[in-house]
C-alpha cells in the first residue's frame, strides 16, 4: 500500500459505504475536498458528517496512523485543524495538543482490493507502458479526451521554455525564433550546438547580409568553427576569406567546433549540411517569422522550410571531401519534426502573448493536420493497440509516456483511472 493510492481512494470516494470511525461513529463523506499539491494537509475544505454533526476542514492521509508522529505533524500548527485522519492501518491513536482524539477512519478493509491488485501490477510492471496489456480496452472517446489534455500539457511545457527565452531577450521574438529554428535544424544530436551557434551570431547581424547567400553561409560556418584553415577548393576559400573579414568587422568569436557531432549519424544530417540548409532558409525567406504567423495554409509554411543545401554540398558532406553526387534537400519528415517541435509551439506562444485566440487555434489545427511521428514511443503504443492518427496524438502519447508511464503515475493518468475501476 502507498500513500498515493490512499489519496486516490479518498479523492474519488472509492471507499465502501457505511464506514465508521475507529471510535465507532458513523461517517458520511459529503465532499473529499481539494487535493493540496503543496506543503500542509493533503486535502483542504473537505465536508464530512460524523454522527449528526457536519464538519468542514482539512483531511490528512497516511499509510499508518503512527506516521502522524513520524512526520512531526504534532508539532506543526498547520495540522491543528484536521477534521479527519484517513489511514490504511490504525496502529496508534492520534491526539491533538489538547489530548482530544482526532477522528480516524481505517481503509484496510473498506475498499475494493481488486483495485489494489491492479495498481500493484502496474507499478511493479517491467513494461515501459505498465498497462500495455489492457490499453486496447479503452473506448475511442476516452482516448480522444485524454489525448487532448495530454497534448495541451505538452504544448504548455514547450511554451514555458519559450517564455523563459523571451524573458531573457526582452521579448525579442525574431531572435528567439531564429535560435529555436536553428535548434530544430540540429534535430537531436546537434540541437544544442545549433542553438549555441545562433546565440553567438545575432539575427540582426545576419540580416545585414540577407541579400548574399555566400555571406550568410560564411557567417554561419565561420561561427560554427567548421571552416578549415587549410583550404583548397573555391567554395571553402571564399567562405573562409569572407568570414575572416566579417569576423573582424563584427568582432565575432566562433563557438568551439568540438560541440558538433558527426559520429553515428546519417551523412545527410551532418551539421555541415544542416547549416547550409539553414542559411538557404534565411536567404530565401526574408521576414520568415512574419510570413509564418500570417500564413493561412500549413503547406505554405512547409514550402518556406523546403530548402536545399548549396550546390557545393551536392557532392560533399564535409569541407573538401568529395562524396557521391546527391542533392541535399531538407526532407519532408524533417520539416514535419521542425513544425511540431519549433514552429507550432512558437505560434502558440505568440498567440498567447498577443491574446490572439485565432493564432493559438491555428497552431492546434496545424498540429492535427501533420502526419503522426514515427519513433520508438509511438511504436510501443501501436503494439499495445493505440494507433495515433496525426501529430497531435503522437505528441500526446509522448507526453503520456514521459510524464506518466515512465514515472508510474498511473493514478494521475486517465487511462490508469479507467483501467483501475473496470
Q: Residue 2: CB partners within 8 Å, gap ≥ 6?
A: 63, 123
Strands 53-64 and 82-89: parallel
Q: Which residue has the cell 546537434?
A: 190
Q: Which residue has the cell 544542416?
A: 274
- Position 231 scores a pLDDT of 84
DSSP of 277-295: HHHHHHHH-TTHHHHHHH-
| Rounded-to-integer distance, Cα 74 and Cα 71, Å | 8
Reading the chain (422 residues) residue by residue, the pLDDT tens digits are 899 999 999 999 999 988 999 999 999 999 999 999 988 999 999 999 998 899 999 999 999 999 999 999 998 888 988 999 999 999 999 998 888 899 999 999 999 999 999 999 999 999 999 999 999 999 999 999 999 999 999 999 999 999 999 999 999 999 999 999 999 999 889 999 999 999 999 999 999 999 999 999 999 999 999 999 988 899 999 999 999 999 999 999 999 999 999 988 899 999 999 999 999 999 998 899 999 999 999 999 999 999 999 999 999 999 999 988 788 999 999 999 999 999 999 999 999 999 999 999 999 999 999 999 999 999 999 999 999 999 999 999 999 999 999 999 999 999 999 999 98
Q: Which residue has the cell 493514478?
A: 411
- Position 327 scores a pLDDT of 84
- Position 17 scores a pLDDT of 87
- Determine contact, residues 32/59, Cβ cutoff 8 Å: yes
| Rounded-to-integer distance, Cα 87 and Cα 105, Å | 6
- Determine contact, residues 408/130, Cβ cutoff 8 Å: yes
Domain locations in the chain as residue ranges: 3-111, 169-369
- Position 80 scores a pLDDT of 86
- Cell matching residue 184: 530544430
Amino acid at each position: 500500500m502507498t500513500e498515493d493510492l490512499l489519496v486516490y481512494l479518498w479523492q474519488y470516494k472509492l471507499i465502501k459505504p457505511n464506514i465508521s470511525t475507529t471510535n465507532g461513529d458513523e461517517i458520511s463523506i459529503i465532499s473529499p475536498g481539494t487535493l493540496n499539491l503543496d506543503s500542509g494537509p493533503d486535502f483542504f475544505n473537505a465536508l464530512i458528517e460524523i454522527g449528526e454533526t457536519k464538519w468542514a476542514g482539512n483531511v490528512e492521509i497516511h499509510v499508518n496512523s503512527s506516521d502522524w508522529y513520524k512526520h512531526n505533524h504534532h508539532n506543526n500548527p498547520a495540522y491543528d485543524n484536521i477534521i479527519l485522519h484517513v489511514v490504511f492501518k490504525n496502529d496508534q491513536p492520534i491526539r491533538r495538543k489538547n489530548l482530544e482524539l482526532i477522528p480516524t477512519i481505517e481503509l484496510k478493509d473498506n475498499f475494493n482490493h481488486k483495485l489494489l491488485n491492479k495498481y500493484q501490477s502496474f507499478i511493479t510492471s517491467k513494461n515501459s507502458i505498465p498497462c500495455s496489456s489492457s490499453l486496447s480496452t479503452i473506448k475511442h472517446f476516452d482516448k480522444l479526451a485524454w489525448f487532448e489534455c495530454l497534448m495541451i500539457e505538452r504544448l504548455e511545457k514547450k511554451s514555458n521554455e519559450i517564455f523563459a527565452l523571451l524573458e531573457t531577450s526582452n521579448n525579442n521574438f525574431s531572435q528567439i525564433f531564429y535560435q529555436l529554428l536553428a535548434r530544430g535544424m540540429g534535430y537531436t544530436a546537434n540541437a544544442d550546438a545549433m542553438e549555441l551557434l545562433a546565440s553567438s551570431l545575432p539575427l540582426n547581424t545576419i540580416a545585414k547580409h540577407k541579400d548574399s547567400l555566400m555571406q550568410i553561409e560564411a557567417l554561419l560556418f565561420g561561427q560554427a568553427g567548421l571552416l578549415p584553415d587549410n583550404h583548397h577548393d573555391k567554395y571553402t576559400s571564399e567562405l573562409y576569406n569572407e568570414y575572416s573579414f566579417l569576423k573582424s568587422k563584427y568582432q565575432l568569436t566562433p563557438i568551439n567546433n568540438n560541440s558538433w557531432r558527426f559520429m553515428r549519424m546519417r551523412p545527410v544530417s551532418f551539421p555541415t549540411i544542416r547549416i547550409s540548409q539553414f542559411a538557404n532558409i534565411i536567404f530565401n525567406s526574408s521576414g520568415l517569422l512574419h510570413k509564418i504567423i500570417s500564413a493561412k495554409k500549413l503547406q505554405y509554411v512547409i514550402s518556406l522550410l523546403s530548402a536545399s543545401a548549396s550546390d557545393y554540398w551536392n557532392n560533399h558532406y564535409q569541407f573538401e571531401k568529395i562524396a557521391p553526387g546527391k542533392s541535399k534537400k531538407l526532407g519532408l519528415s524533417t520539416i514535419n519534426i521542425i513544425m511540431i517541435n519549433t514552429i507550432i509551439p512558437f505560434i502558440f506562444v505568440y498567440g498567447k502573448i498577443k491574446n490572439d485566440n485565432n493564432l493559438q487555434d491555428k497552431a492546434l489545427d496545424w498540429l492535427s493536420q501533420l502526419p503522426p511521428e514515427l519513433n520508438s514511443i509511438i511504436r510501443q503504443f501501436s503494439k499495445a493497440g493505440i494507433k495515433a492518427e496525426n501529430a497531435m496524438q503522437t505528441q500526446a502519447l509522448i507526453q503520456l509516456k514521459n510524464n506518466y508511464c515512465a514515472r508510474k503515475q498511473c493514478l494521475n493518468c486517465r487511462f490508469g483511472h479507467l483501467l483501475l475501476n473496470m
